[in-house]
A and B are shown apart, each in its own frame.
Chain A
């Protein structure tokens, strides 16, 4: 399966700026991107970032064990958005370094709990979690037909200039 995530440069800049803002008690911020999707021949998804939705300050909850714990209100708002309009939901957060980020054990565990919830409102769509760094990104997609998760292969930052982040397949 091949998955390609595309995001306009302006939106990506806005997300990085938003996620860099300190929060009164959460160690890090997170956000969501609602996306339109298309299919590749055979298997695979093209996920196209449409709108960014920061998680509001009051929607974080105190939890010492993880950096950013968001409450059910934040998740409910996103589920409503994907219910109202056919959207794929992509969770975003940022690791404060350059180069390709990789998920921590906590990231992997929390996302495996969170992301499949969006199938309750949009069951034929892929949903995903993307980790940004200062200059790169990586991600995981939950595929609706196999109900499995896969690494996102390709990322394109759409703007002038373009940025292509590709996973090489031998």
Chain B
């Protein structure tokens, strides 16, 4: 039986479509490592992994880094190498390309992608990735998670979003706010290490892969060009944001088309 037989409902050519598709994952930590694993299982043929970090020497990444081992901690293995090993152990036909430098140094890699996944902390960087992908009409799927202390308890929340050319952006969606950007800028761009847990990352990563599958395979009848799924980690729910109702009717004025398309220096 074909490995992908149980995915046959995705559509007649979906296996070939997935096999020829190019997915870029920025950030191979708790969220990105989950996404890499799932893209391998669904059979995405070309995966580009970008992350300059190694697994941390204290081993604190092991509680959430999918594919990470004690040996990796000893060796301080690059996160992109851990993800590559995991992906190719699932499907050796997948072409995996790794880049152990910041994403800003790999803009050519972004440009060649069909879809970009962003799984990093820091709103300034996420805003910049969104801007770089919209410039080349590449759908950007972002996941983010946060833990807040509320009185004596903790509140775990997060979201998975899809931002596309000509559609409402992450500022429109309220994921990126100017006051938070200013706060981050005051800290010289240091977003700080955000607390993360493997099960919440798993929910958000699955949501992100679900958005990707709706975009590239024809199984869902009416996929939305803009999506915001809100995760409530205390209630264990993932809900379509109520903001989408009005977002569907508004046009984004944070990006000016067509001026902000392509390479601005080409004349």
Residues of A within 8 A of B (CB): 6, 8, 10, 34-41, 46, 48, 50-51, 86, 124-125, 156, 158-162, 164, 166, 168
Contact = CB atoms under 8 A, between A and B. Distances in A.
Contact of A37 (B20, B214, B218, B263): B263
Given A8-B165, A156-B137, A158-B137, 13 more contacts: A34-B258, A36-B262, A38-B262, A39-B263, A46-B136, A50-B261, A159-B164, A159-B225, A160-B164, A160-B223, A164-B17, A164-B21, A166-B20
B257 A50 contact: yes
A40 B111 contact: yes
Contacts of B137: 6, 8, 48, 156, 158
Interface SS of chain B: helix, strand, loop or mixed? loop
Closest 10 CB pairs of A and B: A50-B258, A36-B262, A36-B261, A160-B225, A160-B223, A38-B262, A38-B263, A41-B108, A6-B137, A158-B137
Contacts, number: 77
Interface in B211-243: 214-218, 220, 223-225
B146 interface: no
A38 B257 CA distance: 15
Interface in B136-166: 136-137, 139, 164-166
Q: Say which size band chain B's interface belongs to.
A: 20 to 34
Given A38-B136, A164-B114, A10 B166 contact: yes
21 contacts: A6-B137, A8-B165, A10-B166, A36-B258, A36-B262, A37-B266, A46-B111, A48-B136, A48-B258, A48-B261, A50-B258, A124-B266, A158-B164, A158-B165, A160-B223, A160-B224, A161-B216, A161-B217, A161-B220, A161-B223, A164-B20
A36 B22 CA distance: 22
Contacts of A162: 114-115, 139, 215-216
Contact of A48 (B112, B115, B139, B262): B262
Interface of B: 17, 20-21, 108, 111-112, 114-115, 135-137, 139, 164-166, 214-218, 220, 223-225, 257-258, 261-263, 266-267
